[in-house]
Amino acid sequence: MKNIEKMSDKELIDSLRQENKSGECLEELVSRHSGIYMTMVHNYTQENAPPPLNYKSDLICDKNYYIYQAALKYDDSKNTKFSTYLGNETRWMCLNLYNKNKSHCHREIELDKPEIREIPEQSDDNEKSISKDFLDKVLSIAGRDSDSRISKIFKMRYIDPQTNKVTPWKTIGDSLNLSIQGCINIHNKAISKIKKELNKDI
């Protein structure tokens, strides 16, 4: 493999997808493109915003994660530079978060991707209990895995009784003595197992 610093963005992203030195490739992408990410976050989020619009610090803490997600979705065949694509993705993410959080929301795991899907608060108590039951079931499946880190990561990521917000990957990594990339990899591999378990009950 080429020296990481001499690789193009496309080469770094290809290696990242194949998990070849993925940690080093992500670090290099973050080093190159943190500037555009942070510019978009600062331009499209509010300072000292009241809940639930006070997510700016979370976006900053999870910078590596969002750059990683953008790299996985990047399509170089569209002749757009990765920096341009990342800037657009970050801007739209900030705008979408603002629109979703303007009305009070609660969350449920969307198992097709390792993210939280915000859903509008329901007036029907039945709808709220379904969401909670679903989350409880997911956490139960995660807890049965032989890798105890999975349960810890899911509980920390999706259950924060103090803020009712998604816990940043950096916070989880620091708590478990893992890198952000390591936490994301463990989380993503567990998602497919959980989906299979849930599909058995359908």
**What are 137-155's pLDDT values in tens digits?**
888 888 888 888 888 888 8
Distance between CA atoms of residues 18 and 35, nearest Å: 26
What does the alpha-carbon distance between residue 100 and residue 82 come to, in Å, rounded to a whole number? 26
76, 10 Cβ separation under 8 angstroms? yes
Measured in residues, the chain has a length of 202
Q: Residue 8: is its pLDDT beyond 70?
A: yes
CA pair distance 88, 40, nearest whole angstrom: 8
Structure-block tokens of residue 184: 């994301």
164, 57 contact by CB (below 8 A)? no
The CA distance from 15 to 21, in Å, is 7
At a CB cut-off of 8 Å and minimum separation 6, what does 66 contact? 37, 59, 89, 90, 93
Assessment of whether the complete model's pTM goes beyond 0.75 = no
pLDDT band at 38 (very low <50, low <70, confident <90, very high): very high
Q: What is the pLDDT of residues 63-116, one digit of tens each?
A: 998 999 999 999 999 889 999 999 999 999 888 877 776 544 444 444 444 444
